[in-house]
Structure 1
């Protein structure tokens, strides 16, 4: 049997908190969970929003506090860390797979960096039928971090997690 350190145990608990907007993802899958530090029975957790002003952050903070206090930690502090800014590069491959299975096209490629070329997505694969014959209907989908697309093959609308 493997014994976890208090920090590893606290990380696992915080990492299991679901994203309130896409509940098939955890905050670890999304890359929002950045750090967990344990000092005795106190826990400090750092989270980074997917974009500035993300309305889900209050719920995520409350859910992390609830999960860790239910696990026996007396004091939980959740800090909002804005720098460096979140990027879809922080999403796990498991999270991207879960998005596709949920019907949301995961981000493709990597976020552009200032020292390299800017990558363009020439098409977005439909998460339902796999067709590349899709078009952007609206730059903003069900949340600001997603765009609304339509598949011309199966005629279904779907969200696409924007690369940023």
Structure 2
């Protein structure tokens, strides 16, 4: 079930032109985690066809300084141009700030199967007390943080004490 924040932050358009451009933008893959689309990640915030045919897409990056924003913007623009929308504006919206609650359940499952520990869900902004980060390979909670920053700033680097495999954890925020 979607939280109140999740529903207001990522309104998916009903059928029609806005839904078509949403679906085209939603299929864009995150350049840092290539198994996720920007919809899976919760980065896609809105899509609309304006009067005259111009398209406006809004995205909210996982971090305000996320280096992938330019690549995502270029990929959205290219995907829409291929579909016949040459006039595209991709705006970066920082408020409300992105939260891991915006990730889809499908996105969380894709992270796990890719070997990245997915963040837990929060109940309307309340962060629960976690007992550990579950290893995406063997399921053990006997893990240790190696570095607060992993392959990207939105991930931390962990190692499983049971299977000895290193893995990234998508930080909860």
**TM, length-normalised to structure 2:** 0.87
- Describe how 1:17-28 pairs up with structure 2 within 5 A: 17-28=28-39
Secondary structure of the equivalent of 1:119? coil
- Does residue 13 in structure 1 map to residue 24 in structure 2? yes
Cα offset for 1:109?
A: 3.3
RMSD: 1.4
Cα separation, partners in 2 of 1:135 and 1:18, compared to 1, 3 Å = same
Secondary structure of the equivalent of 2:57? strand
Cα offset for 1:30?
A: 0.3
- Describe how 1:109-148 pairs up with structure 2 within 5 A: 109-110=121-122, 113=125, 118-148=127-157
On the 8 A contact 1:41/1:74 being kept in 2, the answer is no
Cα offset for 1:80?
A: 0.4
On the 8 A contact 1:112/1:119 being kept in 2, the answer is no
Gaps of 5+ in 1: none
Cα offset for 1:112?
A: 8.1
Distance 2:37 2:109 in 1: 13
Alignment length (residue pairs): 158
Matched residue, 1:30: 41
Greater shift after overlay, 103-112 or 81-90? 103-112
Gaps of 5+ in 2: 1-14
Point out 4+ residue stretches in structure 1 off by more than 3 angstroms.
Answer: none
**TM, length-normalised to structure 1:** 0.92
